Structure 1
Amino acid sequence: MTELHAVALTCSLKPTPAQSSTELLAGQVLDQLSQNGVTVSAPIRVVDYDIAPGVEADMGDGDQWPEIRRALVHADILVFATPTWLGHMSSVAQRALERLDAELSATDDRNRPGMVGKVAVAAVVGNEDGAHKIIADVFQGLNDIGYTIPAQGGTYWNGESMQGVDYNDLDTTPEPTAATTATAARNATHLAAQLADRTYPPY
């Protein structure tokens, strides 16, 4: 099988070294991918970088998105992880999607956007409702950019609404979340392997 690589963008609002439930769940997805034979990199906490607003691959003047972009170009599988804030993905996640818009015009020698042939899964945490809506929005954006979404390619944890317990406060991972994470990783690995061997036709 072709060697596959995965990277996670964790879109927490908390900079390193603060504990992040988003990064915890993203790391669990990466662990499952590793168990399926995928080579994984350490999660990239996007808020630690100076990411300029815009829709270009490089906005200049100290913009650090190009560093993140290099990791995305290298990876076959993207884990896109975000917390839930006011029922929506984080502002950091929205900015990452906006910057990925540049990939629509970054075509290869067969006129395909550069991210076509890559696979993406979503991971969402929060102690309020919104995970399904966020996953839907993330999938739509990433699919527009060229990523392929595997069957059951999203995983999430929702704490009790209006309470203060975070995912990283739990003693153990709830079985439904663990099982869903394993399924997302397994299906992403399978799909990425198929696309590595036989990607989409030229445009």
Structure 2
Amino acid sequence: IKPGVLSDLGEADDWPKLREKILAADIFILGLPIWMGQPSSVAKRVMERMDAFLSETDDSGRMPAAGKVALVAIVGNEDGAHHCHAECYQALNDVGFTVPANGGVYWVGEAMGDVNFVDLPGTPEKVVSMIKMAASNAAHLAGLFKTKNYAGVPAGE
């Protein structure tokens, strides 16, 4: 994904295909690792490219992500999941996504540890419980949007 804030940066830009898939879905899950207490650079690049949504409004002022639900899933070996969720929620909300209650799921191992999520023998029960709640709330909200999207505000009102 090339850096930038447009929806299409031309040749060799993989964002337009990914953007199309994101906007075709009712629920978007931004999954990312924590690196040094921050969202990964790839996650930041995805949010950077969504900046284009700000200028891609319809006749009612709605951005392309209006009526779409977003969840954020984080893994890492250090603290900072809540900080990363906050950064991602704000960016996703700024470009039109709606984050449901309990819309964040995370697992963080011991700081400076050597155990990664993929090395666990299974998904911890607390994480499973968080996933179920996030999925349930996201599906509920997406269902509501299927019946009635945000009204928006027509130009000039």
Normalising by structure 1, report the TM-score: 0.74
Selected match of 1:102 from 52, 63, 71:
52
Q: 1:163 maps to what in 2?
A: 113
**Cα offset, 1:158, TM superposition:** 0.6
Q: Deviations over 1:30-84 (max 9, x none)?
A: xxxxxxxxxxxxxxxxxxxxx1110000011311100101101101100001000
After TM superposition, the runs of 4+ consecutive aligned structure 1 residues lying more than 2 A away are: 108-111
Selected match of 1:124 from 68, 74, 99:
74
Q: 1:61 maps to what in 2?
A: 11
Q: In structure 2, how many angstroms separate the alpha carbons of the residues matched to 1:122 and 1:175?
A: 18
Q: 2:25 maps to what in 1?
A: 75
Q: 2:126 maps to what in 1?
A: 176
Q: In structure 1, how many angstroms separate the alpha carbons of the residues matched to 2:72 and 2:12?
A: 29
The alignment status of 1:111 with 2:111, answered yes or no, reads: no
Name which one, 1 or 2, has greater alpha-carbon Rg. 2
* Partner-residue secondary structure (3-state), 2:134: helix
CA RMSD, 1 decimal = 0.8
Q: Which runs of 5+ in 2 are unaligned?
A: none
Give the partner amino acid of 2:45: R
The alignment status of 1:193 with 2:148, answered yes or no, reads: no
How many residues are treated as equivalent by the alignment?
Answer: 153
* Partner-residue secondary structure (3-state), 1:92: helix
Equivalent pairs: percent with the same residue?
A: 48
**Cα offset, 1:138, TM superposition:** 0.4
Normalising by structure 2, report the TM-score: 0.95
Q: 1:24 maps to what in 2?
A: none
The alignment status of 1:136 with 2:86, answered yes or no, reads: yes
